[in-house]
Structure 1
Amino acid sequence: MSQSANTREARRLATERRIVACAQELTLEHGLDGFTMDDLAEAAEVSRRTLFNYFPSKIDAVLGGVPQQDDEGVEVFRAGGPTGRLMDDVVHVALRLITDDDLGRAELERGQRVVASDPKLLAAAHERFELMVGEYVDVILAREGEDFGRSRAQLLIRLVVAIFDSCLPSPLHGARTDAEQAADDRPFEAVFTEQIAAARELFA
Protein backbone atom coordinates (compact mmCIF):
# COMPACT_ATOMS: atom_id res chain seq x y z
CA MET A 1 0.00 0.00 0.00
CA SER A 2 1.37 3.44 -0.93
CA GLN A 3 2.19 6.08 1.66
CA SER A 4 -0.73 8.25 0.53
CA ALA A 5 -3.09 5.28 0.80
CA ASN A 6 -1.75 4.53 4.29
CA THR A 7 -2.32 8.15 5.27
CA ARG A 8 -5.91 8.09 3.98
CA GLU A 9 -6.62 4.84 5.82
CA ALA A 10 -5.15 6.24 9.05
CA ARG A 11 -7.35 9.34 8.74
CA ARG A 12 -10.41 7.21 7.99
CA LEU A 13 -9.76 5.02 11.02
CA ALA A 14 -9.17 8.04 13.27
CA THR A 15 -12.47 9.60 12.14
CA GLU A 16 -14.32 6.32 12.67
CA ARG A 17 -12.94 5.94 16.18
CA ARG A 18 -13.78 9.55 17.04
CA ILE A 19 -17.37 9.01 15.93
CA VAL A 20 -17.67 5.80 17.95
CA ALA A 21 -16.12 7.39 21.04
CA CYS A 22 -18.53 10.35 20.83
CA ALA A 23 -21.51 8.05 20.24
CA GLN A 24 -20.63 5.96 23.27
CA GLU A 25 -20.03 8.96 25.52
CA LEU A 26 -23.34 10.51 24.45
CA THR A 27 -25.08 7.20 25.17
CA LEU A 28 -23.55 6.96 28.64
CA GLU A 29 -24.48 10.57 29.39
CA HIS A 30 -27.95 10.79 27.83
CA GLY A 31 -29.04 7.26 26.92
CA LEU A 32 -29.38 5.88 23.40
CA ASP A 33 -32.60 7.80 22.77
CA GLY A 34 -31.28 10.97 24.38
CA PHE A 35 -29.40 12.32 21.38
CA THR A 36 -29.78 12.53 17.61
CA MET A 37 -27.48 11.81 14.71
CA ASP A 38 -27.16 15.57 14.27
CA ASP A 39 -25.98 15.80 17.88
CA LEU A 40 -23.46 13.06 17.19
CA ALA A 41 -22.19 14.74 14.02
CA GLU A 42 -21.66 17.96 15.95
CA ALA A 43 -19.87 16.19 18.81
CA ALA A 44 -17.61 14.26 16.42
CA GLU A 45 -16.98 17.40 14.33
CA VAL A 46 -18.10 15.82 11.07
CA SER A 47 -20.88 16.64 8.64
CA ARG A 48 -24.14 14.70 8.74
CA ARG A 49 -23.28 13.30 5.30
CA THR A 50 -19.86 12.11 6.49
CA LEU A 51 -21.44 10.53 9.56
CA PHE A 52 -23.84 8.47 7.46
CA ASN A 53 -21.00 7.48 5.15
CA TYR A 54 -19.39 5.81 8.16
CA PHE A 55 -22.45 4.48 9.98
CA PRO A 56 -26.00 4.01 8.67
CA SER A 57 -27.63 4.22 12.10
CA LYS A 58 -27.10 5.41 15.66
CA ILE A 59 -26.78 1.84 16.95
CA ASP A 60 -24.09 1.09 14.37
CA ALA A 61 -22.19 4.20 15.44
CA VAL A 62 -22.38 3.21 19.12
CA LEU A 63 -21.27 -0.37 18.48
CA GLY A 64 -18.58 0.65 16.00
CA GLY A 65 -17.29 -1.29 13.05
CA VAL A 66 -17.28 -5.09 13.02
CA PRO A 67 -13.73 -6.46 13.49
CA GLN A 68 -12.39 -7.76 10.19
CA GLN A 69 -9.85 -10.56 9.91
CA ASP A 70 -7.54 -10.15 6.92
CA ASP A 71 -8.12 -12.59 4.07
CA GLU A 72 -4.55 -13.85 4.19
CA GLY A 73 -4.87 -14.74 7.87
CA VAL A 74 -8.12 -16.60 7.25
CA GLU A 75 -6.56 -18.60 4.43
CA VAL A 76 -3.55 -19.52 6.59
CA PHE A 77 -5.93 -20.72 9.30
CA ARG A 78 -8.13 -22.60 6.82
CA ALA A 79 -5.05 -24.39 5.48
CA GLY A 80 -4.13 -25.59 8.97
CA GLY A 81 -1.79 -22.84 10.15
CA PRO A 82 -0.01 -21.13 11.55
CA THR A 83 0.92 -23.79 14.16
CA GLY A 84 -1.19 -26.80 13.15
CA ARG A 85 -2.83 -26.90 16.60
CA LEU A 86 -6.47 -25.84 16.42
CA MET A 87 -6.78 -24.11 19.80
CA ASP A 88 -3.48 -22.27 19.37
CA ASP A 89 -4.52 -21.14 15.91
CA VAL A 90 -7.94 -19.91 17.06
CA VAL A 91 -6.18 -17.90 19.78
CA HIS A 92 -3.79 -16.54 17.14
CA VAL A 93 -6.76 -15.37 15.04
CA ALA A 94 -8.34 -13.75 18.11
CA LEU A 95 -5.10 -11.95 18.98
CA ARG A 96 -4.82 -10.69 15.40
CA LEU A 97 -8.31 -9.22 15.68
CA ILE A 98 -7.39 -7.54 18.97
CA THR A 99 -4.02 -6.17 17.89
CA ASP A 100 -5.13 -5.14 14.39
CA ASP A 101 -8.01 -3.16 15.87
CA ASP A 102 -5.54 -1.64 18.35
CA LEU A 103 -8.18 -0.78 20.95
CA GLY A 104 -7.07 -0.08 24.51
CA ARG A 105 -8.65 -1.73 27.53
CA ALA A 106 -10.34 1.55 28.50
CA GLU A 107 -12.05 1.69 25.10
CA LEU A 108 -13.08 -1.96 25.33
CA GLU A 109 -14.44 -1.43 28.83
CA ARG A 110 -16.39 1.64 27.72
CA GLY A 111 -17.93 -0.36 24.90
CA GLN A 112 -18.91 -3.08 27.35
CA ARG A 113 -20.61 -0.57 29.68
CA VAL A 114 -22.44 1.05 26.78
CA VAL A 115 -23.81 -2.25 25.46
CA ALA A 116 -25.03 -3.19 28.94
CA SER A 117 -26.81 0.16 29.29
CA ASP A 118 -29.61 -0.41 26.76
CA PRO A 119 -31.60 -3.51 25.71
CA LYS A 120 -31.56 -2.45 22.05
CA LEU A 121 -27.77 -2.25 22.07
CA LEU A 122 -27.53 -5.57 23.87
CA ALA A 123 -29.77 -7.22 21.26
CA ALA A 124 -27.83 -5.68 18.36
CA ALA A 125 -24.49 -6.72 19.87
CA HIS A 126 -25.82 -10.25 20.38
CA GLU A 127 -26.94 -10.41 16.74
CA ARG A 128 -23.49 -9.28 15.58
CA PHE A 129 -21.87 -11.86 17.83
CA GLU A 130 -23.98 -14.69 16.44
CA LEU A 131 -23.11 -13.70 12.88
CA MET A 132 -19.41 -13.58 13.73
CA VAL A 133 -19.56 -16.96 15.47
CA GLY A 134 -21.27 -18.43 12.40
CA GLU A 135 -18.57 -17.11 10.09
CA TYR A 136 -15.72 -18.54 12.16
CA VAL A 137 -17.52 -21.82 12.74
CA ASP A 138 -17.70 -22.24 8.95
CA VAL A 139 -13.96 -21.56 8.68
CA ILE A 140 -13.18 -24.11 11.42
CA LEU A 141 -15.30 -26.74 9.65
CA ALA A 142 -13.61 -25.96 6.34
CA ARG A 143 -10.28 -26.60 8.07
CA GLU A 144 -11.17 -29.58 10.27
CA GLY A 145 -13.90 -31.18 8.16
CA GLU A 146 -17.62 -31.54 8.79
CA ASP A 147 -17.00 -34.55 11.06
CA PHE A 148 -15.51 -32.15 13.62
CA GLY A 149 -19.07 -31.03 14.32
CA ARG A 150 -20.71 -27.62 14.21
CA SER A 151 -21.59 -27.71 17.92
CA ARG A 152 -17.94 -28.35 18.87
CA ALA A 153 -16.78 -25.50 16.64
CA GLN A 154 -19.36 -23.18 18.21
CA LEU A 155 -18.26 -24.21 21.70
CA LEU A 156 -14.62 -23.47 20.87
CA ILE A 157 -15.43 -19.97 19.61
CA ARG A 158 -17.67 -19.25 22.59
CA LEU A 159 -14.97 -20.37 25.03
CA VAL A 160 -12.47 -17.99 23.45
CA VAL A 161 -15.02 -15.16 23.58
CA ALA A 162 -15.75 -15.94 27.25
CA ILE A 163 -12.02 -15.69 28.00
CA PHE A 164 -11.94 -12.39 26.11
CA ASP A 165 -14.79 -11.10 28.29
CA SER A 166 -12.97 -12.22 31.44
CA CYS A 167 -10.16 -9.80 30.57
CA LEU A 168 -12.53 -6.85 30.91
CA PRO A 169 -13.85 -5.60 34.26
CA SER A 170 -17.60 -6.13 34.49
CA PRO A 171 -19.69 -3.02 35.21
CA LEU A 172 -21.67 -5.24 37.59
CA HIS A 173 -18.67 -5.95 39.83
CA GLY A 174 -18.42 -2.49 41.35
CA ALA A 175 -15.17 -0.88 42.50
CA ARG A 176 -11.91 -2.61 41.63
CA THR A 177 -8.98 -3.38 43.92
CA ASP A 178 -5.64 -1.59 43.54
CA ALA A 179 -4.20 -4.74 41.95
CA GLU A 180 -7.05 -4.90 39.44
CA GLN A 181 -6.62 -1.21 38.64
CA ALA A 182 -2.88 -1.70 38.13
CA ALA A 183 -3.58 -4.61 35.79
CA ASP A 184 -5.40 -2.21 33.48
CA ASP A 185 -2.05 -0.67 32.60
CA ARG A 186 -0.92 -3.87 30.90
CA PRO A 187 -1.55 -4.38 27.17
CA PHE A 188 -4.80 -6.22 26.53
CA GLU A 189 -2.90 -8.83 24.52
CA ALA A 190 -0.82 -9.71 27.60
CA VAL A 191 -3.91 -10.09 29.79
CA PHE A 192 -5.68 -12.19 27.16
CA THR A 193 -2.67 -14.50 26.76
CA GLU A 194 -2.47 -14.90 30.54
CA GLN A 195 -6.15 -15.81 30.75
CA ILE A 196 -5.79 -18.34 27.93
CA ALA A 197 -2.95 -20.00 29.87
CA ALA A 198 -5.09 -20.07 33.02
CA ALA A 199 -7.94 -21.70 31.09
CA ARG A 200 -5.56 -24.35 29.73
CA GLU A 201 -4.49 -25.20 33.29
CA LEU A 202 -8.10 -25.48 34.43
CA PHE A 203 -9.02 -27.82 31.58
CA ALA A 204 -5.81 -29.88 31.80
Structure 2
Amino acid sequence: MAESATGVEARPTKQALTRTRINRCAMQLTRDRGLDGWTMDELAAAAEVSRRTLFNYFGSKVDAVLGAAGSPTRREDPVALAAFATFVEGGPTGGLVADLAALARPILADEEFDPQNVAMRRTLLTCSNRLMEAVHQHFEQTADEIAALLLRRDPDLGEDRAHLLVRLLVGVFDSTMRVYLAADDPTDTDLVDLFVDQLHAAGELLGR
Protein backbone atom coordinates (compact mmCIF):
# COMPACT_ATOMS: atom_id res chain seq x y z
CA MET A 1 0.00 0.00 0.00
CA ALA A 2 1.05 3.57 -0.58
CA GLU A 3 2.21 5.79 2.24
CA SER A 4 0.76 9.19 2.96
CA ALA A 5 2.80 12.35 3.15
CA THR A 6 3.17 11.73 6.89
CA GLY A 7 4.76 8.33 6.28
CA VAL A 8 1.75 6.45 7.64
CA GLU A 9 0.56 3.54 5.52
CA ALA A 10 -2.45 4.72 3.52
CA ARG A 11 -5.30 2.23 3.43
CA PRO A 12 -7.90 2.20 0.64
CA THR A 13 -11.01 4.13 1.55
CA LYS A 14 -14.40 2.48 1.98
CA GLN A 15 -15.43 4.01 -1.34
CA ALA A 16 -12.40 2.53 -3.10
CA LEU A 17 -13.11 -0.93 -1.67
CA THR A 18 -16.76 -0.73 -2.73
CA ARG A 19 -15.76 0.36 -6.23
CA THR A 20 -13.31 -2.53 -6.45
CA ARG A 21 -15.95 -5.04 -5.32
CA ILE A 22 -18.46 -3.80 -7.90
CA ASN A 23 -15.79 -3.87 -10.60
CA ARG A 24 -14.79 -7.43 -9.72
CA CYS A 25 -18.41 -8.62 -9.81
CA ALA A 26 -18.99 -6.89 -13.17
CA MET A 27 -15.96 -8.60 -14.67
CA GLN A 28 -17.00 -11.98 -13.30
CA LEU A 29 -20.50 -11.59 -14.75
CA THR A 30 -19.03 -10.58 -18.11
CA ARG A 31 -16.61 -13.50 -18.08
CA ASP A 32 -19.41 -15.97 -17.30
CA ARG A 33 -22.28 -14.50 -19.37
CA GLY A 34 -20.86 -11.93 -21.76
CA LEU A 35 -21.38 -8.18 -21.54
CA ASP A 36 -25.01 -8.38 -22.69
CA GLY A 37 -25.83 -11.36 -20.48
CA TRP A 38 -26.50 -9.49 -17.24
CA THR A 39 -28.26 -6.37 -15.96
CA MET A 40 -27.28 -3.59 -13.59
CA ASP A 41 -29.83 -4.93 -11.09
CA GLU A 42 -28.06 -8.30 -11.16
CA LEU A 43 -24.73 -6.55 -10.67
CA ALA A 44 -26.07 -4.65 -7.66
CA ALA A 45 -27.26 -7.92 -6.14
CA ALA A 46 -23.95 -9.66 -6.80
CA ALA A 47 -21.97 -6.78 -5.26
CA GLU A 48 -24.42 -6.49 -2.35
CA VAL A 49 -25.15 -2.81 -2.91
CA SER A 50 -28.34 -0.94 -3.73
CA ARG A 51 -29.12 0.11 -7.29
CA ARG A 52 -28.73 3.74 -6.20
CA THR A 53 -25.30 3.06 -4.72
CA LEU A 54 -24.25 1.21 -7.86
CA PHE A 55 -25.09 4.18 -10.08
CA ASN A 56 -23.23 6.50 -7.71
CA TYR A 57 -20.09 4.60 -8.73
CA PHE A 58 -20.74 3.55 -12.33
CA GLY A 59 -23.19 4.88 -14.87
CA SER A 60 -23.09 1.89 -17.21
CA LYS A 61 -22.11 -1.75 -17.51
CA VAL A 62 -19.06 -0.83 -19.56
CA ASP A 63 -17.82 1.58 -16.88
CA ALA A 64 -18.39 -1.06 -14.20
CA VAL A 65 -16.38 -3.67 -16.11
CA LEU A 66 -13.54 -1.26 -16.83
CA GLY A 67 -13.55 0.12 -13.31
CA ALA A 68 -13.66 3.62 -14.75
CA ALA A 69 -13.48 5.87 -11.70
CA GLY A 70 -13.80 9.08 -13.64
CA SER A 71 -11.26 11.63 -14.71
CA PRO A 72 -8.21 11.82 -12.42
CA THR A 73 -8.06 15.60 -12.88
CA ARG A 74 -11.62 16.11 -11.65
CA ARG A 75 -11.47 14.35 -8.32
CA GLU A 76 -12.84 16.23 -5.36
CA ASP A 77 -10.39 14.78 -2.84
CA PRO A 78 -8.68 17.78 -1.17
CA VAL A 79 -5.28 16.08 -1.19
CA ALA A 80 -5.52 15.48 -4.95
CA LEU A 81 -6.78 19.01 -5.60
CA ALA A 82 -3.88 20.46 -3.61
CA ALA A 83 -1.42 18.27 -5.54
CA PHE A 84 -2.84 19.44 -8.89
CA ALA A 85 -2.63 23.09 -7.81
CA THR A 86 0.96 22.66 -6.66
CA PHE A 87 1.90 20.94 -9.92
CA VAL A 88 0.35 23.67 -12.08
CA GLU A 89 2.28 26.29 -10.11
CA GLY A 90 5.55 24.50 -10.90
CA GLY A 91 5.97 22.52 -7.68
CA PRO A 92 6.69 20.80 -5.51
CA THR A 93 10.33 20.56 -6.65
CA GLY A 94 10.45 22.39 -9.98
CA GLY A 95 11.68 19.26 -11.75
CA LEU A 96 9.15 17.78 -14.16
CA VAL A 97 9.89 14.09 -13.53
CA ALA A 98 9.96 14.50 -9.74
CA ASP A 99 6.78 16.57 -9.81
CA LEU A 100 4.97 14.04 -12.01
CA ALA A 101 6.00 11.35 -9.53
CA ALA A 102 4.54 13.42 -6.69
CA LEU A 103 1.36 13.95 -8.70
CA ALA A 104 0.98 10.20 -9.29
CA ARG A 105 0.47 9.48 -5.60
CA PRO A 106 -2.93 11.13 -5.09
CA ILE A 107 -4.11 9.77 -8.45
CA LEU A 108 -3.16 6.16 -7.73
CA ALA A 109 -3.32 5.96 -3.94
CA ASP A 110 -7.11 5.53 -3.78
CA GLU A 111 -7.15 2.73 -6.36
CA GLU A 112 -7.14 -0.99 -5.63
CA PHE A 113 -4.94 -2.70 -8.21
CA ASP A 114 -5.77 -6.30 -7.39
CA PRO A 115 -3.57 -8.53 -9.60
CA GLN A 116 -6.42 -10.92 -10.43
CA ASN A 117 -8.67 -8.02 -11.39
CA VAL A 118 -6.02 -6.51 -13.65
CA ALA A 119 -5.37 -9.84 -15.38
CA MET A 120 -9.10 -10.54 -15.82
CA ARG A 121 -9.73 -7.07 -17.26
CA ARG A 122 -6.96 -7.53 -19.83
CA THR A 123 -8.45 -10.87 -20.87
CA LEU A 124 -11.93 -9.38 -21.26
CA LEU A 125 -10.59 -6.53 -23.39
CA THR A 126 -9.20 -8.97 -25.95
CA CYS A 127 -12.67 -10.52 -26.32
CA SER A 128 -14.82 -7.39 -26.70
CA ASN A 129 -14.52 -4.65 -29.32
CA ARG A 130 -17.10 -2.66 -27.36
CA LEU A 131 -14.90 -2.62 -24.28
CA MET A 132 -11.82 -1.76 -26.35
CA GLU A 133 -13.63 1.20 -27.93
CA ALA A 134 -14.68 2.42 -24.48
CA VAL A 135 -11.09 2.16 -23.22
CA HIS A 136 -9.87 4.17 -26.20
CA GLN A 137 -12.46 6.91 -25.64
CA HIS A 138 -11.69 7.12 -21.92
CA PHE A 139 -7.97 7.23 -22.64
CA GLU A 140 -8.31 10.06 -25.16
CA GLN A 141 -10.42 12.12 -22.75
CA THR A 142 -8.01 11.58 -19.87
CA ALA A 143 -5.00 12.24 -22.12
CA ASP A 144 -6.48 15.57 -23.22
CA GLU A 145 -7.09 16.59 -19.60
CA ILE A 146 -3.58 15.67 -18.45
CA ALA A 147 -2.09 17.45 -21.47
CA ALA A 148 -4.11 20.54 -20.51
CA LEU A 149 -2.70 20.28 -16.98
CA LEU A 150 0.83 20.16 -18.39
CA LEU A 151 0.13 23.21 -20.56
CA ARG A 152 -1.21 25.16 -17.58
CA ARG A 153 2.09 24.46 -15.84
CA ASP A 154 4.22 25.30 -18.88
CA PRO A 155 2.41 27.01 -21.78
CA ASP A 156 5.64 26.99 -23.79
CA LEU A 157 5.54 23.19 -23.87
CA GLY A 158 3.07 23.26 -26.77
CA GLU A 159 0.18 20.89 -27.44
CA ASP A 160 2.16 18.40 -29.53
CA ARG A 161 4.85 17.92 -26.89
CA ALA A 162 2.28 17.85 -24.08
CA HIS A 163 0.43 14.98 -25.77
CA LEU A 164 3.73 13.24 -26.52
CA LEU A 165 4.59 13.43 -22.82
CA VAL A 166 1.21 11.92 -21.93
CA ARG A 167 1.90 8.99 -24.29
CA LEU A 168 5.28 8.50 -22.64
CA LEU A 169 3.59 8.43 -19.23
CA VAL A 170 1.17 5.78 -20.50
CA GLY A 171 4.14 3.71 -21.65
CA VAL A 172 5.74 4.03 -18.21
CA PHE A 173 2.51 2.92 -16.55
CA ASP A 174 2.19 -0.05 -18.91
CA SER A 175 5.75 -1.06 -18.03
CA THR A 176 4.86 -0.66 -14.36
CA MET A 177 1.89 -3.01 -14.72
CA ARG A 178 4.03 -5.57 -16.55
CA VAL A 179 6.57 -5.63 -13.71
CA TYR A 180 3.77 -5.62 -11.12
CA LEU A 181 1.98 -8.63 -12.61
CA ALA A 182 5.25 -10.53 -13.10
CA ALA A 183 6.15 -10.28 -9.40
CA ASP A 184 6.04 -13.50 -7.38
CA ASP A 185 3.51 -11.87 -5.04
CA PRO A 186 2.14 -8.61 -6.50
CA THR A 187 0.15 -7.96 -3.32
CA ASP A 188 3.48 -7.28 -1.57
CA THR A 189 4.41 -4.69 -4.20
CA ASP A 190 3.53 -1.02 -3.75
CA LEU A 191 2.25 -0.07 -7.20
CA VAL A 192 2.64 3.66 -6.58
CA ASP A 193 6.28 3.27 -5.56
CA LEU A 194 6.88 0.98 -8.52
CA PHE A 195 5.41 3.55 -10.93
CA VAL A 196 7.55 6.31 -9.41
CA ASP A 197 10.67 4.13 -9.78
CA GLN A 198 9.81 3.39 -13.41
CA LEU A 199 9.15 7.08 -14.06
CA HIS A 200 12.54 8.08 -12.66
CA ALA A 201 14.20 5.30 -14.69
CA ALA A 202 12.54 6.61 -17.85
CA GLY A 203 13.70 10.13 -17.01
CA GLU A 204 17.27 8.92 -16.61
CA LEU A 205 17.16 7.02 -19.91
CA LEU A 206 15.72 9.97 -21.83
CA GLY A 207 18.23 12.30 -20.21
CA ARG A 208 21.19 10.40 -21.65
Per mean C-alpha deviation after superposition, the further-off stretch among 79-88 and 60-69 is 60-69
Q: SS state of the match for residue 84, structure 1?
A: coil
Give the TM-score normalised by the residue count of structure 2. Answer: 0.77
Identify the match of residue 66 of structure 1 among 67, 70, 79.
70
Gaps of 5+ in 1: 1-8, 171-175
Distance (whole Å) between structure 1 residues aligned to residue 53 and residue 193 of structure 2: 36
Per the alignment, residue 169 of structure 2 pairs with 160
Distance (whole Å) between structure 2 residues aligned to residue 104 and residue 139 of structure 1: 28
Distance (whole Å) between structure 2 residues aligned to residue 193 and residue 113 of structure 1: 26
| CA offset digits 1:141-178 (Å, max 9, x no partner) | 11111x311110111111111111112249xxxxx9xx
Q: SS state of the match for residue 56, structure 1?
A: coil
Q: CA RMSD in A?
A: 2.5
Gaps of 5+ in 2: 1-11, 74-79
1:123-162, aligned counterparts within 5 Å?
A: 123-145=133-155, 147-162=156-171
User: Which structure has the higher relative contact order (CA within 8 Å, separation 6+)?
Assistant: 2
Report how far residue 75 of structure 1 moved. 0.6
In structure 2, give the amino acid aligned to 1:68: P
Q: Which has the larger radius of gyration?
A: 1
1:11-90, aligned counterparts within 5 Å?
A: 11-64=14-67, 65-66=69-70, 68-69=72-73, 70-90=80-100
Per the alignment, residue 4 of structure 1 pairs with none
Identity %: 39
Q: Tell me, yes or no, if the aligned pair for 1:104 and 1:187 is still in contact at 8 Å.
A: no
In structure 2, do the counterparts of structure 1 residues 12 and 92 end up closer, same or farther at CA, with 3 Å as the change threshold?
A: closer
Per the alignment, residue 132 of structure 2 pairs with 122
Q: Tell me, yes or no, if the aligned pair for 1:19 and 1:40 is still in contact at 8 Å.
A: yes
Give the TM-score normalised by the residue count of structure 1. Answer: 0.79
In structure 2, do the counterparts of structure 1 residues 83 and 113 end up closer, same or farther at CA, with 3 Å as the change threshold?
A: farther
Number of paired residues?
187
In structure 2, do the counterparts of structure 1 residues 192 and 109 end up closer, same or farther at CA, with 3 Å as the change threshold?
A: farther
Distance (whole Å) between structure 2 residues aligned to residue 133 and residue 162 of structure 1: 12
Identify the match of residue 198 of structure 2 among 186, 195, 199.
195
Q: Tell me, yes or no, if the aligned pair for 2:172 and 2:199 is still in contact at 8 Å.
A: yes
In structure 2, do the counterparts of structure 1 residues 143 and 169 end up closer, same or farther at CA, with 3 Å as the change threshold?
A: closer
| CA offset digits 1:89-135 (Å, max 9, x no partner) | 12322233112324344433433333333111111111111111111
Q: Tell me, yes or no, if the aligned pair for 1:24 and 1:110 is still in contact at 8 Å.
A: yes
